[in-house]
């Protein structure tokens, strides 16, 4: 199969705000628990999601010669400010890319990143595009920022990257992508053990779909990149993924909060900027919603662009 | 202390998820007192299903099933008997 790479990851976030400083009754009730679980701040802005998307995408495009791409995948689960189409037009105009085709991806909540990667990768494999800009952007417009499922605080922000046939600097080779859905499992409030079992089973199913064709197992991943959740939720995800909890990598959880589907890309930036990842190291991205579980396996191709 | 009526495989699996257990499992002891937490419960369910080739239905995935080794074995053995009769 033709190699597909992920690179040029960028992100923008709302203003860093202590949980205690947010006018949100539900969040305030849960704040002591969240602090005890590793959360500290979340990110808040009144900027539209399309503007956040454009601000992040602009940084990613700065790495591309001519600042053009063949296609854009725009991931969001945030209700549009105008209409979905109207927001996309605003986004394209902000980027000065008025003639670039866009595909909007949603429906997997905070797992939209992997759905977006699937769409972008398929464009590359179909040779419809050589370079695709992927952006995921969301913000809280109404309701509480407290997210019971994952025990976390939602943040406003966007992240973006290139998905391309040719490797760029600090690229990751996309090895496999999979998503499973179960919208019939009920709620944790009514049947917590059954929901947890279904979640674990679906995560393992998604991971097997990725690892078995590659002939690797969960223990081969040096890092598990998940959403920014409470410590207990991270431990649960690690157990479900059959990856040692020590390999969970989400260094920005305290300062960023849970930025929807952008979290894993934010962690990738930290991983490459700090030099904590070695050429050829495998990372497993696990991006989940309460009813869907998305997995991406990637290998760091380093500065040369090819995995060692 | 009740006398265990379950096979060694069940005892071994259960032991792996009871960090506070010391010696053979008392069938009537509370599993929570032996260290079974919510994370361990899910991990235990997955291992029981994989190792004993059973599928625990949702209606048995309730707190009462995981109260003690006796209650858990009652659920597991009923599934094993159902599978054997099928």
d(CA A205, CA A180): 8
Q: Determine the pLDDT at residue A304.
A: 56
Cβ–Cβ gap A197/B61 under 8 Å = yes
Tokens found for residue A37: 């679980």
Residue A59 forms contact with B (CB below 8 Å)? no
For the cut 60, the answer to whether the pLDDT of residue B52 exceeds it is yes
Give the position of tokens 């902000």. A94
Q: Give the pLDDT of residue B1.
A: 57
Cα separation, B86 vs B83, in Å, equals 5
pLDDT band per the 50, 70, 90 thresholds, residue B54: very high
Beta-carbon contacts of residue A90 (< 8 Å; ≥ 6 apart): A48, A50, A51, A54, A82
Q: Supply the ipTM of this predicted assembly.
A: 0.89
Question: CB B61 to CB A194 under 8 A?
Answer: yes
Which three-class secondary structure state does DSSP give residue A79? Answer: coil
Mean pLDDT of B48-59: 95
Q: Which residue has the tokens 């179909």?
A: A126
pLDDT reported for residue A66: 87
Residue environment code for B16-41, b if the CB has 16+ CB neighbours within 10 A, otherwise e: ebbeebeeebbbebebbebebeebbb
Q: Does residue A93 sit in helix, strand or coil?
A: helix
Handedness of CA A195, A197, A198, A199 (dihedral sign): positive
Q: Which residue has the higher pLDDT, A246 or B23?
A: A246
Which stretches of chain A score pLDDT less than 70? 303-308
pLDDT at A96: 96
Q: Tell me if residue A117 falls in helix, strand or coil.
A: helix
A1 vs B69 pLDDT, higher one: B69
Structure tokens at A51: 């503007």
The pLDDT of residue A149 is: 85
Quick one: closest CA in B to A197, which residue? B42
The answer to pTM > 0.90 is yes
Q: Do A193 and B41 touch (CB under 8 A)?
A: yes
Angle (CA) A93 A95 A99, round 5°: 60
Separation in Å, CA A140 to CA A72, A153, A263? 23, 10, 15
């Amino acid at each position: 199969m033709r190699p597909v790479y992920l690179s040029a990851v960028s992100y923008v976030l709302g203003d860093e705000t202590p949980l205690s400083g947010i006018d949100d009754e539900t969040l305030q009730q849960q704040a002591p628990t969240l602090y005890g679980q590793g959360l500290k701040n979340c990110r808040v802005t009144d900027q539209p999601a399309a503007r956040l998307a454009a601000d992040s995408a602009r940084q990613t495009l700065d790495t591309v010669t001519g600042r053009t791409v063949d296609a854009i995948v725009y991931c969001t689960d945030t209700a549009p400010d105008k209409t979905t189409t109207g927001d996309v037009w605003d986004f394209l105009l902000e980027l000065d890319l008025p003639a670039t085709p866009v595909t909007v991806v949603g429906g997997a909540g905070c797992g939209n990143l992997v759905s977006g990667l699937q769409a972008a990768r398929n464009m590359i494999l179909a040779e419809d595009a050589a370079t695709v800009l992927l952006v995921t952007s969301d913000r809280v417009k109404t309701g509480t920022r407290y997210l019971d499922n994952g025990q976390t605080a939602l943040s406003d922000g966007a992240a973006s990257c290139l998905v391309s046939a040719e490797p760029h600097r600090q690229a990751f080779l996309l090895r496999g992508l999979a998503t499973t859905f179960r919208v019939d499992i009920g709620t944790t409030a009514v049947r917590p053990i059954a929901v947890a079992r279904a979640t674990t089973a679906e995560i393992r199913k998604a991971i097997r779909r990725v690892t078995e064709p590659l002939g690797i197992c969960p223990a081969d991943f040096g890092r598990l990149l998940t959403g920014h959740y409470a410590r207990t939720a991270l431990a649960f995800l690690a157990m479900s993924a059959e990856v040692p909890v020590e390999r969970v990598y989400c260094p920005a959880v305290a300062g960023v909060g849970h930025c929807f589907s952008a979290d894993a890309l934010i962690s990738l930036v930290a991983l490459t900027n700090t030099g904590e990842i070695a050429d050829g190291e495998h990372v497993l991205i696990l991006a989940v919603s309460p009813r869907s579980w998305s997995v991406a396996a990637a290998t760091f191709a380093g500065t040369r662009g090819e995995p060692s | 202390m009740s006398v265990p009526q379950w096979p060694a495989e069940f005892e071994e699996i259960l032991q792996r998820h009871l960090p506070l257990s010391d010696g053979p499992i008392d069938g009537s002891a509370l599993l929570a007192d032996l260290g079974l937490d919510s994370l361990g419960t899910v991990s235990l369910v997955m291992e029981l299903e994989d190792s004993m080739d059973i599928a625990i239905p949702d209606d048995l995935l309730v707190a009462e099933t995981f109260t003690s080794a006796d209650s858990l074995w009652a659920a597991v053995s009923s599934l094993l008997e159902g599978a054997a009769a099928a």
